[in-house]
Amino acid sequence: MVAASSSSAAGNKTIIEVTVVGKDRKGVVADITNFIFQNGGNIEKINQNVVRGLFGMQLEASFARAKRKELDDGLKDLAKRLQMEIKVHYQEPDRLRNVAILVSKEPHCINRILAGRKKGEIKANLAVVIGSEPSLKPVADEAGIPFHSVSHTDQAEAERNILDLIEKYNVDLIVLARYMRILTPNFVWRYPNRIINIHPSLLPAFPGAYAYVQAYERGAKIVGCTAHFVTEDLDQGPIICQESFKVSDSDTLETIRKKGRELEAATLFEAVRLYLEDRLEVYWGKVLVHKSPKGKATTTTSS
């Protein structure tokens, strides 16, 4: 079940995002929404799901006068009573967004983001780089960004470690810059529409990690990539940007990969830029791309 408002709260209202994760049980939605209403909040968006007995809910609410300590303490008490994990993220428009970049071995996407920041094409605090292995530590070190390597021998433990780092650095946006690991619903639900991934094909075709091989072997005439928000369904999240290039008879697998990597870096960077400029809004599973920051102009639907 998904419900959303057609516009963002305006003015000087405080916007909070509440995520709830835990074993499915009755009454959770009612308890959370009642708490919001009792504290003077208005629910702007709500999304909930259950997968294999695991309940996840994301809620966005606006407050004319938010009493942060009372909200934090009340939700902590509610989490204990419901025996669920409840986290709150406050949207603070006057603060630079904190960005976490998750990587594996390939450097092209993170390099484009770093170059964009250096050129002033994006305004953000690149707070931390997290690698599934240490290959790209020198890249982060050169840029002066803390690097943490998290082994995925045990997926649950790895995700707990990453979640701890995300919380430590007060991260607003998570960018998967060719991060070759699949995040579980237990992780993804905590950051609704705040995780951006780049996939090396025009989704929904050619899912998985070997998209260019599939495209080459099947003689695709057009190859591309897709930047999208991450959901619990693999490679099925709302699409932000898509770009493509034509394949010529002289192209080899290696030339297709080279062109594809260049396009991936550019497309992921564009999605990150639009997010940081507050120009993206997810409405009923589709991304609306605003011509200017949300609520200040008309919108166009991304392709």
Cite the active site residues: 235
Identify whether the C-beta of residue 290 lies closer than 8 Å to the C-beta of residue 297: yes
Helical ranges in 125-207 per DSSP H = 137-143, 155-168, 185-188
Measured distance CA(139)–CA(184) in Å, rounded: 27
| Residue 161 amino acid letter | N
Tokens linked to 109: 């996407």
Rounded (10°) CA dihedral 287, 278, 178, 126 = -170
Beta strand residue intervals within 1-119, DSSP E: 2-4, 14-23, 41-51, 54-63, 85-91, 98-103
Identify whether the C-beta of residue 207 lies closer than 8 Å to the C-beta of residue 286: no
Cβ-proximal residues to 251 (8 Å cutoff; 6+ apart), any chain:
259
Residue 150's alpha-carbon distances to 103, 134, 140, 160, 188, in angstroms, are: 10, 8, 15, 10, 17
Angle subtended at Cα 161 by Cα 112 and Cα 170, rounded to the nearest 5 degrees: 60
